A and B are shown apart, each in its own frame.
Chain A
């Protein structure tokens, strides 16, 4: 594809998964001779396996203890990873660039106080005036700061405070689709000169019972031990293994990036999202339309965000095997876990690092994924939401 000034290029990647912290660590993992070792926590949230947060030194990106205290882990993880992306793009201490930088964050809600919630429902079991009980307990037990730690738009708010990103600040909500729309919106704004540089991303802390609860309302979370993504145990829960993960990208117009001599990981050629009923081949028809224009074959690597959920994961795999016949597929939830709002940004981060570093990614699942014979020239990222929403992005290498 011919290069254009308003191409949307990725110039910064912030990434945290159970596998490690930062772009360099993940390039090493992606370029390794074999898939990274499984990092899974099966005890703390038993019977639910989750990919845990790696060791993080918050001070590296959130220097003020006061700021750290104002947040819980979800916001800390997002703010930390946003800082990694800014660092990686060379914008970290560039007040002018951050002051004009746009921002779109895909967010869920922050941590509830499980102890207070438990206290209230336990007391409620003994009383028949539950509404009055609520007033009593919430008034005395809720910490004012926790409200702010729970508010969806306060992840972005904290990024503004800690990293001084203040061009604009928008928060999108709605599970996987929020992550898709966030990048899609940033892409179109840059394409049409409404923005020159945008920070976009998301974070999920999976090690939260209030997050697992959402999946379990439709019986979607896997139980027991970890089983391979493409062949999850049908008898052990709903198939999804969640993972604590965060991904932020710095997107720029090519003109903006080149003017400052920025390193370009990859260009986003196309991106789209859609939704609707999934029966009778409608899911596959939408994916087909969203993937329009993507080349198949050995030069294209597919980073599938398949969650492991029974049913749709097998359907996505079958569609990929046909549409991207000859392209190696990597189901990244196998090594990171599924990251809800952060899933699509995470896929783009992994794709950008892979294309930027020119690496061959070893199969994450040798029984279901083929080896890469050469480094890829282009990448396709998919995300199929656990309840709704699908997104596809097509990226090409810079060189």
Chain B
């Protein structure tokens, strides 16, 4: 290849994906996940991790098959990230120190209740209402507990990953709510385009399903309460959708400049062609009714990729199954793609894996690349009662064979967060 072949339409280094790893409620590893995903299998189940007595939502897509030294969301989020990074680096054929930066999308985890109860058990008795933290502090003054610091510090997960994989510099731990996974990838793409590095390790992870997390989202009326059967609850773009299903998972993508990937003989799985973002100032949890920021985000991603609307062959939707998201996402897609949207298949992985929150953008990027690699579109399951206001080819219920060379993946989140990625097949 000539040097020019390694540069994009703006003269920037082309960014390749050379390794992928994934964990969801469907299983560990890309192979098992993909088999289940194209088989239309749901990973959503009744919650057994904690009692659900009295809760309106009693289902989730938790990952319950990874062994942990201690049961808490930090250990979970770390373990999922570690497992997927191991898988991705093996696929990329990289061992030893990674030598590039780490961008980690991780959930903003609140201290675990078990820790509070344990501190209270050892603390002096209450002197007045509301003094629990005075007592916690008294316990810690007596004897410091570094393990608690690591369970409470937001930088603890990336610290362990940085040590394990030998990444370079300060790792970035980020949160853009439900767009976090996409933002991590975007940061990796930017770093490579800046010429600061030839490779970046980008990870989205979320092991934060606890009673408190579930209740908090439930208080915002964000979750589906269609508990029975669990597998039918997540029904993106359906008329009777009533909220997302909270879930866990992780995904890692090894990003590399195409030039460096080719130079070392790595197999190129796909190209991270473009990224777009635009914040929304409308409301803390709701999107602008006109879809303006989501529209601008998709257009920015297409422009960054140097692709026009006609170039996209499949859309991996955010598709959360909340009444609001799916309506707004449809509005934004139909505005950007116009009449051609009817010819673009759009499916939501969340119909099967639920909403993996912080990890979703990364998990769905992996599935987007895999869609191109395999020529198979994963379906949107539970699509039996279409929302008449959302006219989409959602790849209903059953996978479809289709060669696709460019995919758009959307991620939108609380706090006005919007991010879209454009991925293309390996250049011929």
A: residues with CB less than 8 A from B are 47-48, 70, 103, 107-109, 112, 114-115, 117-122, 124-125, 130-132, 134-136, 138-139, 142, 144, 147-148, 150-154, 156-158, 160-161, 164-175, 177-178, 180-181, 184-185, 188-189, 191-192, 194, 209-210, 212-214, 216-219, 223, 237, 272-275, 385, 387-389, 391
Contact = CB atoms under 8 A, between A and B. Distances in A.
A134 B211 contact: yes
B278 A175 contact: no
B89 to A, nearest CB: 20
- B contact residues, range: 35 or more
A161 B283 contact: yes
Interface stretch (B192-200, B335-343, B345-353, B369-377): B192-200
A173 B154 contact: yes
A139 B54 contact: yes
A112 B110 contact: yes
A213 B170 contact: no
Contacts of A209: 133-134, 136-137
Contacts of B414: 148, 151, 153-154, 157
10 contacts: A114-B130, A121-B119, A132-B51, A160-B280, A161-B281, A168-B279, A170-B183, A185-B187, A191-B194, A275-B169
B51 A142 contact: no
B146 A218 contact: yes
Contacts of A387: 149, 153, 155
Contact of B129 (A115, A124, A273): A115
A313 B106 CA distance: 30
A174 B153 contact: yes
Interface stretch (B213-221, B249-257, B317-325): B213-221
Contacts of A117: 116, 132-133
B416 A161 contact: yes
A138 B215 contact: yes
B55 interface: yes
Contact of B53 (A132, A165, A216): A132
B52 A180 contact: no
A189 to B, nearest CB: 7
A139 B193 CA distance: 47
4 closest A-B pairs (Cβ-Cβ)? A157-B415, A174-B155, A118-B132, A273-B170
Nearest to B119: A121
Contact of A166 (B136, B141, B217, B279): B279
Given A117-B132, A158-B284, A219-B144, A173 B194 contact: no
Contacts of A165: 279, 281
Interface stretch (B173-181, B226-234, B326-334): B173-181
A188 B154 CA distance: 23
Nearest to B167: A275
A343 to B, nearest CB: 13
A173 B116 contact: no
A274 B196 contact: no
Interface in B38-56: 50-55
Contact of A139 (B55, B113, B169, B177): B55
Given A158-B284, A160-B279, A209-B134, A389 B194 contact: no
A254 B144 CA distance: 48
A177 B104 CA distance: 13
B126 interface: yes
Contacts of A219: 140-141, 144
Contact of B293 (A166, A185, A212): A166
A192 to B, nearest CB: 4
Given A174-B171, A175-B153, A209-B134, 10 more contacts: A121-B119, A148-B414, A151-B414, A152-B154, A153-B175, A157-B284, A161-B284, A178-B155, A188-B190, A209-B133
B175 A173 contact: yes
